[in-house]
Structure 1
């Protein structure tokens, strides 16, 4: 661990795990696909489809839950993207009911979007960098009000 990460606290951290109810359907689809390939044949064709499709479905579900939202070391990080807090402007929070307009007709095509359908609220953060063509970031976060407070306090 480096000295900077040990001395600078993380102000906010959240990971977008896929909830339990998001697992059964993809796993059932993987098993059905394997059964379709198997079709009662003996030998390798009887177990190999299950060995491939079920772990592949699990891997895809876990990767969907790999989105991390974090405020630390003077940056906002959403997944692999990051922006310095000094370049952030206005922060807006949209709940599950009002995010439809933000994600639909009011969405700028140049915006950075990291949406997870199973997470209700989204946060919209303006980017005040004149060299960056991205007008704002719009991303899902469960603790939207807490993140908005952290971002406002950091300015």
Structure 2
């Protein structure tokens, strides 16, 4: 009989960085406008065909832009921040802070370290800054977009 321990990870926080709902209107409007132009430029095509192709392409593009998920997973032993496929154990985080929308341009501008791990979504206002203390990792910090940085930081500290 083998000794296997089941480590059940619990989700402490989860958020998907969807595009704003109102982006769907211009996205479909642009797809419809391009379909109209195709109809006028290529009269041999059935009128419905460009719309049937371009409207789903617009929907897929908007869904793809919002596919990134930020989540905090935890066990009794360890807590990790997952951003897409990348994950960071909280044990290597020395400091953490919220970056408000007003300070985001400074954090992403001249102050940005090129070695930092950055997941930035322009349509999400605030960010979370996690400074690392890991001698094996050349990444100085993580800078991640999230809508509720206070909840992310609280989930990381619990």
TM-score, length basis structure 2: 0.85
Q: 2:85 aligns with which of 80, 85, 88?
A: 80
Quick check: which has more Rg, 1 or 2?
2
Residue 130 of structure 1 pairs with residue 143 of structure 2? no
- Secondary structure of 1:39's match? helix
Task: State whether residues 127 and 136 of structure 1, in contact with CA within 8 Å, keep that contact through their aligned partners in structure 2.
Answer: yes
Aligned to 1:54: 55
Paired residue total: 149
Displacement, 1:69? Answer: 0.6
Aligned twin of 1:32: 33
Q: Secondary structure at the match of 2:136?
A: coil
Is this contact kept in 2: 1:37–1:45, CA < 8 A?
Answer: no
Q: Which residue of 2 aligns with 1:10?
A: 11
Aligned-residue CA RMSD (Å): 1.8
* Segment drifting more, 37-46 vs 75-84: 37-46
CA distance in 2, matches of 1:67, 1:41: 37
For 1:99, the equivalent position in structure 2 comes to 104
> Cα deviation per residue 1:73-129 (whole Å; 9 max; x = unaligned)?
431101121122212221011111111111111111111111112211111111222
Q: CA deviation at 1:42?
A: 5.0
Structure 1, unpaired ranges of 5+: none
2-structure distance, mates of 1:41, 1:146: 52
TM-score of the aligned structures, taking structure 1 as reference length: 0.86
CA distance in 2, matches of 1:42, 1:22: 30
- Counterpart of 2:72? 71
Q: Distance in 2 between matches of 1:120 and 1:89?
A: 24
Gaps of 5+ in 2: 1-5
Instruction: After TM superposition, give the deviation of residue 43 of structure 1 in Å.
Output: 5.4
